Amino acid sequence: MTRAPERRWSIRARVLTGMMLLVGLALLTAGTASFAVQRHELNERLDESLTRTVKEFEVLTDTGVDPRTMERFKHAEDLLYIAMQRTLPSPKQGMLSLVGDEVRWTAPDIVNTRLEDDPEFLEWARSVQDANHIRLGTVDTDITTYRAVVVPVSLPADHEHGAFVLAYDYSAEAIANDRNFMIYGAVGASVMLVAALAAWLVVGRMLDPIRRLQTTAQQISETDVSQRIEVSGNDEFAELTVTVNEMLDRLEGALSSQRQLLDDVGHELRTPVTIINGHLELMDPNDPDDVAQSRDIAMDELGRMSLLINDLVTLAKSNRTDFLQVEPAE
């Protein structure tokens, strides 16, 4: 009993799956690279803005004068107050001033990012303020993530140390970047769906000659090989269709020749058998001359049959590759 073939994926399904995997990988790679580049640019932009503000604060510290006394700043608290007045935070930026461990000045009420309302951030700012080092870093709290800078303030005439704290709400700044990535993902998914539909139609159209070949092969039987596949287009499938049609032509010719040969052989073998059978039926077994004559006729007809059988054997061997022994002629 012939075992039924196992069910496998169709060519269309395999081509479509491979194409979708390739397109998906390309979109994922491009999206990841774009996301990384945008996130890097965001980090650079925030750090550049914080660094620029720090430089402005250093210029104010080195060359600025107190508007009330028109002299150089003597108290860290006064310097921080003027610096806070001259600094305009961006929409997602907050600031405050520390004198010792106390929050002395905060941003105006119109500023949405309230650093003083985040205890974890304040704890970090107090822990990193140092009289000699500016600290730039990322702070994760339960409320959000900050990209912040802490600038220490220490004046020779003031025994109190302070710090100017400026921070971006990094999570809020990254939302736009994340939103762009989500839009990219949605567009990529839509592109994959459209590509899948287009590929399904295109591959189906490409495989149409294969389906016609399968249908034609199923219609071909031992007695009817006249079916042919319609040739359309001028691609590799069209060439395959022409090749299969030519093979069917050769097969039909071979089958026709085989049937003609069988008809001829049947006719040739039937004649001597009929002759032998007729003479044996009419032979008089008691007449030695009639027996001898019938014997001679039967031997002649059997000889003809033997020659015909030898010719058939030779014809069958003619299809073998070693039928002819080619040798160089002298």
Same domain, 159 and 280: no
Q: What is the pLDDT of residue 1?
A: 45
Q: What is the pLDDT of residue 222?
A: 58
CATH number at residue 26: 3.30.450
294 or 122, which is more confident? 122
Is the separation of the CB atoms in 174 and 191 below 8 Å?
A: no
**Domain extent at residue 251:** 210-317
In a domain, residue 145? The reply is: yes
Q: Count Cβ atoms within 10 A of the Cβ of residue 319 and give its class: 0-12 exposed, 13-18 middle, 19 or more buried.
A: exposed
SS3 content of the chain, % helix, strand, coil (to 5): 60, 10, 25
Kindly list the distances between the CA atom of residue 287 and the CA atoms of 27, 275, 277, 292, in Å, as whole numbers in the listed order: 103, 19, 18, 9
Same domain, 169 and 27: yes
Q: What is the pLDDT of residue 221?
A: 64
pLDDT in tens, 224-279: 677 777 776 677 777 777 887 888 788 777 777 777 777 777 777 777 778 778 77
3-state secondary structure of 226: coil
- Among 178, 198, 232, the domain-final residue is 178
Highest mean pLDDT: which range of 73-77, 125-129, 237-241: 125-129
CATH number at residue 220: 1.10.287
Highest mean pLDDT: which range of 30-34, 134-138, 151-155, 193-197: 134-138
**What DSSP designation does 149 have?**
E
pLDDT band at 2 (very low <50, low <70, confident <90, very high): very low
Helical (H) or strand (E) element with 135: strand 135-140
Same domain, 26 and 153: yes
